[in-house]
A and B are shown apart, each in its own frame.
Chain A
Amino acid sequence: MRNTAATRYGNRGYRADGMTTSMESRTGSLAVAREAPRSSSSLRWGALLRIARQQARDAMLGWAPYLVAALAVLIAVVLVYNAIRFTAESGLNIVANPFSLPLQTAASLALLYVTVEATLAIARPREHGSLQVLFFAPVDVSVLIGAHFVSGIVVYLLFLLLLAPPLSLLAWVTNFVVPVALLWGVLLTVLVAGLAVAFGLFLSAAAPSGRAAILLLVAATLLLLIVQGGYAALLNIPPTSRYYDALLFLRVLLRNVHELLLWFSPFRMLDAMLDAALRADWAALLQYSGAAVGGTVAWLAAAVWALRRRGVLP
């Protein structure tokens, strides 16, 4: 079994054009299935879990997640303090969706972190030439992508767990309201994290190098955030007059792009999910969850395809 898998992926990795036919792959899979169908799937599952555990452990045993979490808490502290300070000054403060913005910022940072990790997950070891070593185990492309995906989700959940004590303490110390619906919404954002990780894995599998993958991610993130931030900024700019608006075309354009992003951008989806959770709009939550799962499956399939196409060699 080990030899079959090694031959299958190792050999394909050494091909000059880095390409393999789907027939080859299919034949290989069928051959494995005929030899030991049950042990094959359990071995693959075991390998997936082992890689995922290792990746998650590696991620959590570095300083990066703790630094990002510290930054998230720092932003939350500043936002909450701002509201309290205003209350002390004016005597009354009607806070719309209290604690929503701090949680949204924290979840966005968590998303960004797991996406960056996923973007480097394949591109970096491939660049170092260590990716092919993995394929001498009962590992194939789907297992590897699946393992990194599971690892990303686990790290996201651990990240949220890491944020829970300081944010709870912050809410308790300041007597701030944390709507229960918001917590449900945060839990559901794990589906959005799946979408972000799957997208990162696709970039990682498709990009020629780690640097290129990161550059692509930065470009995509910037584009998404510019559209989202630009739209939010335009909403706060009043029209030139009631009858004429110099920014009309820009407003309409950005609104349409912004609406489109609801089905593609993890950041936009995160916003929409938290908002729907606060409104207890289960139909919208189901819709966004469906879109997130659909997007995740599509990006994972694209990642598998890209890794097969590009191979495991630098």
Chain B
Amino acid sequence: MGAAATGGAAVSKTRTMLKVRKVRMICAVLLTALLLLLARQRPSQAQSPEQSDAFVFGINASVPGAVIGTFAPPSVDSIYFLADRTSILSPRQTRVYYWPITNEYRAAWSEVNEQVEGTLEILQGSEVVATVQQVTYTIHFSTGERAPRPQLYVGQEALQADARFQEAQTAYREAALAYQAARQAWLAQAREAAASLTADGVDPETLPPAPQQPEALNLFSTGLNSGYPVELPAGSYQIRTRLPDGSIIPESERRLIVFAPRRTAVGYEVVPENRWTFPEELNDLSSAVFGENDSVIYLKPYIVREYPSLPYERLQDPQYVGDTSGPEWMWVSGEPLEEEILEIVRDGRVEELVGLQPYFVRQVPGRELGYEILPYAPDTPDLTPRIDFVGYRIALSTERPAFEVRLRSPEQTLLSGSTRAVRVVEPISVYTLLPLSLLPLIIGAGLLFWRRRRTALEISE
């Protein structure tokens, strides 16, 4: 019984083992099949999107203080430019593909990037208003906050600018090579000095001064390219490219919408002293500054231009599919103004003149704000080692509760659109203001009472 039981247990164990093996085998087969399937699928996942040959316009759109580089694939029927600024359209043959992640077409410039010969015709209605030939252009730009703004050079100027750039690049390369050589020589001298090291060490007088590294070239160039320079007044146009054989490239027919700023003015960046890292913008001409008593603000002026939001968005991205969201008009900041004098005007009389002043922000541990803003003085490098920002300082006080600020140029002319109202407001209880809403009712009650009384008098008479 016991042996039979042991034998039965062994048979049962063997059967279980066989079952487990069978299951493992099936799993292995399934896993292999799955891996094979995945292995087969992988090449198709890595495939690049389907590309097609297309005529496109490369775009370098001029905006205040910048040149925006984009392109218009065949799906874009309207191209947007700013009025009275030179922008560039470059006719190109390339390959494009749809990129669903960003819902836009992209160009495979590295595969095909052929310049298309021909002239650009600009039409209004059915009339050709301009015919533009391709010219050489280049864009130079630098990096850094106080660096010069990007510059577009066209035609002969482009050639000259490119020559200057090449010259600067060559000069920098030579300076860098000379520096390397000088550095090697200096290192050799230093090694020699180290070899003749005495117990007293190296006499610093015996070592020549270390060579100075040349200043890095902060100028970049797109190189020389060809395109149509377009500078038009505001309006709606049609464009097309005519080939040398007289035919029109159908894909080149697009709408060109040229728009101008609705208003140009002087805007201000308002830096409150109590949170100088969070400045606010004061752009609209009818906007006003409301500040509390005993506070200080700093104003940083610059040119602002007001553009319609949607066209400006499409100027920056011709494939932008969205519609207006946010304000319908937007102020675009432009060139900073640093030569002017700020006038504080009260009741039509200039009360104070304020000059632009650099400031240093000193971190002060333990103080309420954690910092204090000091006027920058070059002769006290220990106290004010650097310039953190520049601005016109205005102290707000209830002694001067309402005034205006405006800018006067060095030529003593007032800058149009620079006037803004400033108000010093003091906290007030809502219960003080609410009775004002009863005033119309009081007037009405008085009128009705007077009317009733008059009627009663008339009846009695």
B424 near A175: Cβ-Cβ < 8 Å: yes
Across the interface, A77 reaches (CB within 8 A) one of B103, B270, B436, namely B436
CA distance A31 to B81 in the complex (A): 65
Does any Cβ of B come within 8 Å of A95's Cβ?
yes
Give the chain B neighbours of A67 by CB distance below 8 A. 441, 444
Give the chain B neighbours of A170 by CB distance below 8 A. 433, 436
Across the interface, B451 reaches (CB within 8 A) one of A61, A93, A166, A251, namely A61
Q: Which of B48-56, B64-72, B285-293 contacts A (4 or more CB under 8 A)?
A: B285-293
Q: Which of A5-13, A40-48, A80-88, A203-211 contacts B (4 or more CB under 8 A)?
A: A80-88
A239 near B325: Cβ-Cβ < 8 Å: yes
B322 near A242: Cβ-Cβ < 8 Å: yes
Contact bitstring B102-146, A, C-beta under 8 A = 1, else 0? 111000000000000000000000000000000000000000000
A173 near B428: Cβ-Cβ < 8 Å: yes
B328 near A61: Cβ-Cβ < 8 Å: no
CA distance A29 to B191 in the complex (A): 119
Across the interface, B436 reaches (CB within 8 A) one of A63, A73, A98, A278, namely A73
Interface residues of A in 268-297 (CB under 8 A from B): 278-279
Across the interface, A245 reaches (CB within 8 A) one of B288, B321, B421, B433, namely B321
B286 near A100: Cβ-Cβ < 8 Å: yes
Does any Cβ of B come within 8 Å of A179's Cβ?
yes
B447 near A92: Cβ-Cβ < 8 Å: no
Interface residues of B in 406-456 (CB under 8 A from A): 421, 423-428, 430, 432-434, 436-441, 443-445, 447-448, 451
Give the chain B neighbours of A163 by CB distance below 8 A. 440
If the complex has contacts A80-B433, A251-B324, are A87 and B287 also in contact, measured as CB distance less than 8 A? Answer: no
CA distance A234 to B286 in the complex (A): 25
CA distance A112 to B279 in the complex (A): 41
CA distance A239 to B320 in the complex (A): 12
Give the chain A neighbours of B272 by CB distance below 8 A. 91-92
Most B C-beta atoms less than 10 A away, residue of A80, A91, A181 = A91
Give the chain B neighbours of A244 by CB distance below 8 A. 103, 321
Interface residues of A in 44-92 (CB under 8 A from B): 60-61, 63, 65-67, 69-74, 77, 80-81, 83-85, 87-88, 91-92
A91 near B292: Cβ-Cβ < 8 Å: yes
CA distance A173 to B437 in the complex (A): 13
Interface residues of A in 161-180 (CB under 8 A from B): 162-163, 165-166, 169-170, 173-177, 179
Does any Cβ of A come within 8 Å of B43's Cβ?
no
A96 near B326: Cβ-Cβ < 8 Å: no
B289 near A92: Cβ-Cβ < 8 Å: yes
Contact bitstring A233-246, B, C-beta under 8 A = 1, else 0? 01111110011110
Give the chain B neighbours of A255 by CB distance below 8 A. 323-324
| A244 (CB) vs chain B CBs: closest residue | B103
Across the interface, B270 reaches (CB within 8 A) one of A69, A87, A92, namely A92
Does any Cβ of B come within 8 Å of A252's Cβ?
yes
Majority secondary structure, A binding face: helix
Majority secondary structure, B binding face: mixed
If the complex has contacts A173-B433, A235-B326, A245-B322, are A87 and B440 also in contact, measured as CB distance less than 8 A? Answer: no
CB of A282, distance to nearest CB on chain B (Å):
13
Give the chain B neighbours of A98 by CB distance below 8 A. 286-288, 290, 421
CB of B394, distance to nearest CB on chain A (Å):
11
Contact bitstring A86-122, B, C-beta under 8 A = 1, else 0? 0110011111111010000000000000000000000
A84 near B291: Cβ-Cβ < 8 Å: no
CB of A264, distance to nearest CB on chain B (Å):
19
Give the chain B neighbours of A242 by CB distance below 8 A. 102, 322
A243 near B103: Cβ-Cβ < 8 Å: yes
| A63 (CB) vs chain B CBs: closest residue | B444
A61 near B440: Cβ-Cβ < 8 Å: no
A169 near B439: Cβ-Cβ < 8 Å: yes
Does any Cβ of A come within 8 Å of B101's Cβ?
yes
B322 near A87: Cβ-Cβ < 8 Å: no
B401 near A166: Cβ-Cβ < 8 Å: no
CA distance A61 to B454 in the complex (A): 13
If the complex has contacts A235-B325, A242-B322, A279-B263, are A77 and B434 also in contact, measured as CB distance less than 8 A? Answer: yes
Across the interface, A92 reaches (CB within 8 A) one of B291, B321, B402, namely B291
CA distance A245 to B430 in the complex (A): 41
Across the interface, B440 reaches (CB within 8 A) one of A66, A91, A177, A248, namely A66
Q: Which 3 A-B pairs have the closest CB atoms?
A: A66-B444, A69-B440, A74-B437
A to B CB contacts below 8 Å, 19 in the list: A70-B437, A73-B440, A77-B434, A77-B436, A81-B428, A81-B433, A84-B428, A91-B292, A94-B281, A173-B436, A175-B424, A177-B402, A177-B421, A242-B102, A243-B102, A245-B321, A245-B322, A278-B285, A279-B285
